[in-house]
Chain A
């Protein structure tokens, strides 16, 4: 049980510059991922999931934003304090990432083979021939046949599902210990989605990786997550083990998300949707950011930020409803 965290994020603050001021895309986020664990990060689009992942990767474009505060400890080393070159040598090797859009994530003018082998050659100092051998094995491993043919083809010749498999092959090519997958199935057909998820899950087991899986699809969460973190407007509002969280959601937003999820065999007249919109992330006043949309909104919710409270073993929620319950 007491496995060491492979990734620990403390009080991460990531801001983007915009005309109206600074956008706190990731607002004081702390989380950890243990060895072998699959952690799912969920939330509506625009709540800072990608920004969290990009901050870990050190890939926030300096012309549009920055990590202003916090720590990102990967196996105990703070990635934010690391020299650029040292970080680059870890990136793609010890931790790797795959993205939402497989169609645009590969370079259109380089062959698949070139794009798979270049990171192997960069990180593992293999010869071209050895790298090609490894590349062919990887193509096979992610479930595509005709390795040689795929190796010399260009991205536009493959389907989205195949490209995402290639992206996965690239990501695992140097045996990373942590894989970050940012909505890896969102852009794909439903049938392909399941295949890709299966592939990710199997690879994770076989290779003993940890995984941070970003999604807004609770069906995906239910299938693969060990632990779930719910984000809203740049903040974590609830987190807990998957079964616990699905059975016993605490935060009104989490409850709303679960109610909004269509359930098979349970046709309802109308799918539930959470009313309202995500607030503008610029200049938010101290308050619960969900208060405007919350049916249980109390006066304290609009004036004070709810702290993170442990409800049960490793199940935390940031909501004034439970604050009272505990303090009374």
Chain B
């Protein structure tokens, strides 16, 4: 087991090197940069700035400088914020993370429950009704869904704040602060959950239907077990197995922010920052962030395999 993990960790190195090359050269080959995008600069000033940021060096050299810094945990320097990228990410990533985490948990809980009930009552009224709702939610664009929720739940009913992360001008601390943020989180979490739930519900329904047809479920029934036990102990466990992989793949998504939803709800998350960095060509920030997500992605891949091994006795490692 330890050897296996070690081997898999070693395999990550070439993958990450490949990813870093792709990321670096894609951004550096795109014509134009942060300095070019300001039309008010004189030629001399531009040359000065080029030298300052190292834009005048050959690409290969810049790549190695960048990689060298990465290895020391330095993701670069954000031109737009004039602060280290790690600091900028640190400032914004957690607000995105909490929204994503809350919606992830909610999405999975609801999807498992609805999927199982839908599958056990295939073609019933509940199943058809849920199918329609789920497809409707999936098909609605996030900006539209977001605006509708703001209109009804925030403006008309006044149940939740319409945007932002804290009540403007408030100076709350401790528990009150947490409560305030939680209230502001509700609508964005709701939107993300509604968008994500469709695919996952279908996935669990299909998995469950597949498993329920299997011989061992018939055996469980033939033993005279209660239907509840047959479904939740025998069938659901098997239906959840492949989902473990899927769950691990959600890890990068927890940190990558939700561009449109954050924009609508004025949520100070990483998605909004990412968008902004694009418009001003803050490439160090974009590169650092993309590299960070790439790292999370390969780690989540590894995690998926390991978790699957723990959960499924057939691939459990000795």
Interface residues of A (CB under 8 A from B): 57, 59, 63, 88-93, 96-97, 99, 101, 104-110, 118-119, 122-123, 154, 156, 167, 170
Contact = CB atoms under 8 A, between A and B. Distances in A.
B222 A104 contact: no
Interface residues of B, number: 25
B219 to A, nearest CB: 5
B313 interface: yes
Given A104-B215, A107-B216, A107-B238, A154 B314 contact: yes
A119 B221 CA distance: 10
9 nearest A-B pairs in the assembled complex, by CB-CB distance: A92-B224, A91-B224, A92-B223, A119-B223, A104-B215, A154-B313, A107-B216, A105-B215, A105-B219
B295 interface: no
Contact of B224 (A89, A104, A105, A108): A89
Contacts of B314: 108, 154, 156
B225 A105 contact: no
Given A105-B215, A154-B314, A92 B241 contact: no
Given A63-B122, A92-B224, A108-B238, A99 B313 contact: no
A17 to B, nearest CB: 12
B226 interface: yes
Interface string B211-247: 0001110111111111101000110011001000000
Nearest to A101: B215
Contacts of B123: 63
Given A107-B234, A109-B312, A170 B218 contact: no
Nearest to B237: A109
Interface in B236-285: 237-238, 241
A309 B220 CA distance: 40
Contacts of B227: 88
Nearest to A103: B215
B227 to A, nearest CB: 8
A123 B224 CA distance: 8
30 contacts: A59-B222, A63-B122, A88-B225, A88-B226, A91-B221, A91-B223, A92-B224, A93-B224, A97-B222, A99-B215, A104-B214, A104-B215, A105-B218, A106-B216, A107-B234, A108-B314, A109-B312, A110-B233, A118-B225, A118-B229, A119-B223, A119-B224, A119-B225, A122-B224, A122-B225, A122-B229, A123-B224, A154-B313, A156-B313, A170-B223
**Which of A57, A59, A108, A122 counts the most B-chain CB atoms under 10 A from its CB?**
A108
A233 B223 CA distance: 29
A118 B226 CA distance: 11
A109 B214 CA distance: 13
Given A104-B214, A119-B225, A109 B241 contact: yes
**Which of B123, B234, B241 counts the most A-chain CB atoms under 10 A from its CB?**
B234
Contacts of A99: 215, 218-219, 222
Nearest to B123: A63
**Which of A96, A109, A118 counts the most B-chain CB atoms under 10 A from its CB?**
A109
A122 B227 CA distance: 12
A105 B238 CA distance: 14
Contacts of B234: 107, 110
B185 to A, nearest CB: 36
Nearest to A109: B237
Contact of A104 (B216, B220, B241): B216
A59 B223 contact: no
A118 B215 contact: no
A214 to B, nearest CB: 14
B215 to A, nearest CB: 4
A132 to B, nearest CB: 17
Contact of B222 (A96, A109, A123): A96
Contacts of A119: 223-225
Contacts of B226: 88, 122
Contacts of B311: 109
Nearest to B241: A109
**Which of B214, B221, B311 counts the most A-chain CB atoms under 10 A from its CB?**
B221
B220 A107 contact: yes
B216 A167 contact: no
Contacts of B237: 107, 109-110
B222 to A, nearest CB: 5
Contacts of B218: 59, 99, 105
Nearest to B219: A105
Nearest to A121: B225
A41 B258 CA distance: 63
Nearest to A94: B224
Contacts of B241: 109
Contacts of B216: 104-108
Contacts of B222: 57, 59, 91-92, 96-97, 99
Contacts of A110: 233-234, 237
A89 B227 CA distance: 12
B221 A90 contact: no
**Which of B123, B218, B219, B313 counts the most A-chain CB atoms under 10 A from its CB?**
B219
Nearest to B221: A59
Contacts of B221: 59, 91
B224 A88 contact: yes
Contacts of B220: 107
